[in-house]
Amino acid sequence: MPRTRRVIIVLFPDVDLLDVTGPAEVFALANRETGGRAGYRVELAAPAPGPVTTAAGIRLVADLSFAEVAGAVDTLLVPGAVDVHPDGEIRARVDPDVVTWLEEAAPQARRVASVCAGAHLLAAARLLDGRTATTHWSTAAQLAAEHPEVTVDPDPIFIRSGRVWTGAGISACMDLALALVAEDLGEETALAVARHLVMYLKRQGGQSQFSVPLSKPAASRRDIDDLRMHIADHLDGDLSAAALAARMNLSERHFARVFRQETGTTPASYVEAARVESARRLLEGTDHTLERVAATSGLGSVETLHRAFRHQLNTTPAAYRRRFRTTT
């Protein structure tokens, strides 16, 4: 008989729809991929049984009330919800009924995972104390301010800290669920599920929520934003600090100071990150040799490609390609 892995997904009013349905679909496909041997049984639990209206306006039906959740729980998955204020500020919603129930129920589950702003619910239930966690980038500052006992890292797709997992938002719920499947059933099954989902790439936890151009907010200076676009379009060109400063009609020293002020990093670090991102895409989706990848991405030589990957991703180009290759 296949092992039963009971997954309880929390529902509450205005919860993000994809936070619930995305992981549920991953677990269902894992069952299909293994002929049912995965044994995932997904149940939806809410403060009261019955329909719950999500933020998308679509209603989901809770199978159980919190009080009716009895017996062993393999995975307790907590999605999130946000409120958008009139001034445009986004704040994570912390449902007190969910927090109260989590304080009692979470310690009994084999593992606990949050999706997106669900990390705020785990933090309010003191489940993230002393841990490193992530959440959607738009509420990361709120999480850090309200819970100084939690080390908040807004960059990764997901973070595992012992039996507690936290995921970024919103489509990253699929990456986190795939990681849970990989832990249970192995990488091959998780990758097979990713193929069924036609996901471009099954990302590992250490990968950033953003591409390099999106990872920095818009600069206050239009010329710096224009320069960032120039860098993205000319990765195989001369992007030395001297060349970029000349393009801006600034001295090299003044340019370096302005660029760091606007982007939070040095020109050299920014260019390297952009070139590594280009190399990653080539390794994921082409059969190009490492020599060609290095040349096309502007890193020049295989030696420089290796050094940049070690610096940016703590891995090698070959290892990265084996893990994330999307071509057949």
Evaluate if residue 134 carries a pLDDT over 50: yes
Active site members: 116
In tens, the pLDDT along 20-75 reads 999 999 999 999 999 999 999 999 999 999 999 999 999 999 999 999 999 999 99
Nearest to 163 by CA among 110, 127, 121, 199: 110
Q: Can you tell me the distance from the alpha carbon of 234 to that of 298, in angstroms, rounded to the nearest whole number?
A: 8
In CATH terms, the fold of domain 5-196 is Rossmann fold (3.40.50)
Helix, coil or strand: residue 272: helix
- Greatest C-alpha distance within the chain: 72
> What are the residue ranges spanned by the domains of the chain?
5-196, 212-324
Nearest to 264 by CA among 315, 305, 224, 312: 224
Evaluate if residue 300 carries a pLDDT over 60: yes
In tens, the pLDDT along 246-292 reads 999 999 999 999 999 988 889 999 999 999 988 988 887 788 999 99
DSSP state of 208: B
In CATH terms, the fold of domain 212-324 is Arc Repressor Mutant, subunit A (1.10.10)
Nearest to 194 by CA among 25, 4, 18: 25
Q: Can you tell me the distance from the alpha carbon of 184 to that of 95, in angstroms, rounded to the nearest whole number?
A: 30
| C-alpha distance from residue 85 to each of 90, 93, 141 (Å) | 6, 12, 16
In tens, the pLDDT along 64-118 reads 999 999 999 999 999 999 999 888 889 999 999 999 999 999 999 999 999 999 9
Q: Can you tell me the distance from the alpha carbon of 180 to that of 232, in angstroms, rounded to the nearest whole number?
A: 34
